[in-house]
Amino acid sequence: MTDSAVQTWDVVIMGGGFAGQTQARHLIRQIPGIRIAMVEPRTLEEIATIHKIGESTVEIAATFLDRELGLYDYLVENHQPKVGLAFHWPRSTDKTDSIEDYASLWPARSPTLPSWQIHRGRFERDLMQMNLADGLTWIRGKVADMDLTPGAAKNTCTVVTTDDETITLSCDHLVDAAGRVFLTGRKTDNMLVGPKNLFGLKNGTAWVRVSGVDRTRFIEGIDADRTHTSQYYSTNHFFGAGHWLWMIPIGMGDNRELSLGVMYHHDVIKGKDLDSEAKFKAFLKANHKVLFDLIEGCPVEDFVHWSRPAHYCKKMFSEDRWYALGDAAYFGDAFYSQGTSTIAFAVESITELIKTQRADGADWERKRDAYNRFNLWWGANVVHLYRDHAMQLGDPGVMSWRIYLEYMWWFGAWVPTYLGKFFLDPKYVDDTLSFCQRHFLKEVYDDLNRVVAGEGNRLPFMDCYRADQLAFGFSPSAEHDHYLENVESAPGRLNVYKSLSKTFFFVALWWLRFQWTAFGLGGLLRWRTWRRVGSLLWISTFIKMGDLRHVWWRKRGVPRNPTFSALREEVRAMGPRRNEPEPWVTEPDATPTEAASA
What are the tens digits of pLDDT across the range 302-340?
999 999 999 999 999 999 999 999 999 999 999 999 999
Q: Is the pLDDT score of 595 beyond 60? A: no
DSSP-derived letter for residue 317 is: B
Query: Which residues have CB under 8 Å from 399's CB, separation 6+?
Result: 87, 89, 239, 392, 393
Mean pLDDT of the chain: 93
Q: Which candidate, 146, 134, 137, places its Cα nearest to that of 174?
A: 146
pLDDT for the residue numbered 183: 96
Mean pLDDT value of segment 518-523: 96
pLDDT for the residue numbered 1: 42
For the domain 1-79+118-191+311-387, what is the CATH code?
Answer: 3.50.50.60
117 near 56, Cβ under 8 Å?
A: yes
User: End-to-end CA distance of the chain, in Å?
Assistant: 86
According to DSSP, the β-strands at 80-82 and 115-117 are antiparallel
Q: Which candidate, 150, 115, 386, places its Cα nearest to that of 234?
A: 115
For residues 392 and 450, what is the distance between their CA atoms, to the nearest angstrom?
10
Mean pLDDT value of segment 466-486: 91
Min mean pLDDT across 221-225, 304-308, 511-515 is at 221-225
pLDDT band at 3 (very low <50, low <70, confident <90, very high): low
pLDDT band at 596 (very low <50, low <70, confident <90, very high): low
Condensed to tens digits (0 to 9), the pLDDT of residues 246-281 reads 999 998 777 899 999 999 999 999 999 999 999 999
pLDDT band at 590 (very low <50, low <70, confident <90, very high): low
Each domain of the chain, given as residue ranges in start order, spans: 1-79+118-191+311-387
Q: Is the pLDDT score of 594 beyond 70? A: no
pLDDT for the residue numbered 253: 74
Q: Is the pLDDT score of 598 beyond 60? A: no
Mean pLDDT value of segment 400-415: 96
- Decide which of 260 and 6 is more confident: 260
Condensed to tens digits (0 to 9), the pLDDT of residues 374-394 reads 999 999 999 999 999 999 999
Mean pLDDT value of segment 393-414: 97
DSSP per position, 416-483: HHHHTTGGG-HHHHHHHHTT--HHHHHHHHHHHHHHHTT-SPPPPP--TT-SSSSSTT--TTS-SSST
Q: Is the pLDDT score of 228 beyond 70? A: yes
80 near 199, Cβ under 8 Å?
A: no
Mean pLDDT value of segment 443-453: 97
pLDDT for the residue numbered 219: 86
